[in-house]
């Protein structure tokens, strides 16, 4: 389809190069929208139905009994139930803290890693490979490893106890205050390699001349980062920010492996709560409502993203 239409469009584009700039812009734009066709078609076929089902589920009473039968429309009942007991509100608050930690650590250390690993050399290459290797390990492996490392007889407590900093082990995973921080840390750990890799790819796209020019101006390292690198990777930073936020908002694997939301409910974030509601309590409607709330939360952030993109486009 695209290949048939493209030449005609190009002809008209060529015809337009002479005078009518505006006409050419419109037709080019149409052609470029055709580039979206495969993705639109594919996602329409395989992603839209699940999305609609999720939305429909969130406003229906769906339990194990009715999942494979007719769903009864109940309006906003699921949302009301989710927030009535305080369960949803608590989870929302925890999710906020969790996402904040994951995003901050993930973005800062990701960028720091990318800058540090920009240098050539064996150490950088090996370290990057190591990070990607760890990133690609399944959560059950990474989560279990950290569960051991953060346990009473794990490495960190061994150090803490040997150094005499404390006389009892740090309750990394079983104190209600520490547990959320620990899982957030491990989630950041898991997202840093990804962010580093993408930041690095963006940094490498900066033409060497830019750095040379900066060097001639006699900028120091920090100024180079601040005034050369950061502005150049701004579009990547924005998209990574969104992806990291999304990652934080939907992450539940590590919580599942490391704490199962515990102790008690101390690490029940929204995605994990949604999982529990749908697959431990078999209240699929309630679980779907929780997921929809999470999606809405992210959409608000996405609107901010869209605005900054528009600003970025206005600038360019």
Smallest distance from the beta carbon of 296 to another protein, in angstroms?
9
First to last CA, the chain: 31
DSSP string, 266-292: TT--HHHHHHHHHHTS-BHHHHHHHHH
- Whether 20 and 254 have beta carbons less than 8 Å apart is answered as no
The least CB distance from residue 37 to another protein, in Å, is 8
Q: Which is nearer to another protein, 25 or 100 (CB)?
A: 25
Q: Which residues of 245-278 are buried (b: 16+ CB within 10 A; e: fewer)?
A: bbbbbbbbbbbbbbbebeeeebbbbbbbbbbbbb
Nearer to another protein, 73 or 260 (CB): 260
Please state the φ and ψ torsions of residue 280, each to the nearest 5 degrees: -110, -35
Closer residue to another protein (CB): 102 or 197 = 197
For position 211 contacting another protein by CB under 8 A, the verdict is yes
Instruction: Report the site for another protein in 27-46 (rule: CB under 8 A).
Output: 28-29, 31-40, 42-43, 45-46
**Chosen residue from 102, 107, 191, 271 binding another protein by CB under 8 A:** 271
Q: Which of the residues 67 through 126 are near another protein (CB under 8 A)?
A: 67-69, 109, 112-113, 115-121, 123-125
CB burial of residue 156 (10 Å; 0-12, 13-18, 19+): middle
Number of residues engaging another protein in binding (CB under 8 A): 142
Instruction: Work out whether 170 is an interface residue with another protein (CB under 8 A).
Output: no
Nearer to another protein, 96 or 171 (CB): 171
Shortest Å distance, C-beta 103 to another protein: 15
Binds another protein (CB under 8 A): choice among 1, 17, 70, 122:
17
Binder to another protein among 166, 227, 310, 311 (CB under 8 A)? 310
Binding piece for another protein, criterion CB under 8 A, among 70-78, 88-96, 159-167, 286-294: 286-294
N residues, the chain: 316
Report yes or no: 171 and 178 within 8 Å, Cβ to Cβ: yes
DSSP 67-85: HTSPPEE-TTHHHHHHHHT
């Amino acid at each position: 389809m695209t290949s048939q239409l493209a030449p005609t469009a190009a002809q008209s584009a060529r015809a337009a190069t002479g005078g009518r700039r505006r006409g050419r812009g419109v037709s080019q734009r149409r052609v470029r929208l055709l580039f979206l066709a495969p993705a639109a078609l594919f996602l329409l076929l395989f992603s839209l139905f699940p999305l609609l089902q999720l939305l429909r589920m969130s406003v229906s009473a769906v339990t194990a009994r009715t999942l494979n039968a007719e769903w009864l429309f109940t309006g906003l009942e699921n949302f009301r139930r989710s927030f009535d007991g305080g369960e949803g509100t608590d989870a929302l608050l925890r999710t906020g803290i969790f996402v904040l930690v994951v995003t901050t650590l993930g973005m800062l250390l990701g960028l720091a890693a990318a800058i540090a690993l920009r240098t050539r050399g064996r150490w950088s290459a090996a370290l990057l490979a190591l990070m990607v290797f760890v990133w690609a390990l399944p959560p059950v492996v990474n989560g279990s490893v950290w569960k051991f490392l953060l346990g009473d007889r794990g490495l960190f407590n061994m150090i803490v106890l040997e150094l005499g900093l404390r006389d009892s082990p740090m309750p990394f995973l079983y104190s209600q205050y520490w547990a959320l921080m620990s899982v957030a840390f491990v989630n950041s750990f898991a997202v840093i390699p990804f962010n580093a890799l993408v930041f690095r790819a963006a940094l490498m796209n900066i033409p060497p001349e830019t750095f040379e020019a900066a060097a001639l101006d006699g900028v120091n390292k920090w100024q180079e980062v601040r005034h050369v690198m950061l502005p150049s990777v701004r579009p990547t930073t924005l998209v990574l920010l969104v992806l990291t936020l999304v990652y934080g908002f939907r992450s539940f694997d590590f919580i599942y492996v490391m704490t199962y939301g515990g102790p008690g409910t101390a690490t029940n974030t929204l995605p994990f709560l949604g999982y529990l509601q749908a697959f431990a309590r078999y209240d699929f409607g309630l679980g779907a409502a929780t997921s929809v709330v999470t999606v809405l939360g992210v959409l608000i952030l996405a609107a901010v993203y869209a605005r900054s993109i528009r600003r970025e486009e206005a600038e360019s």
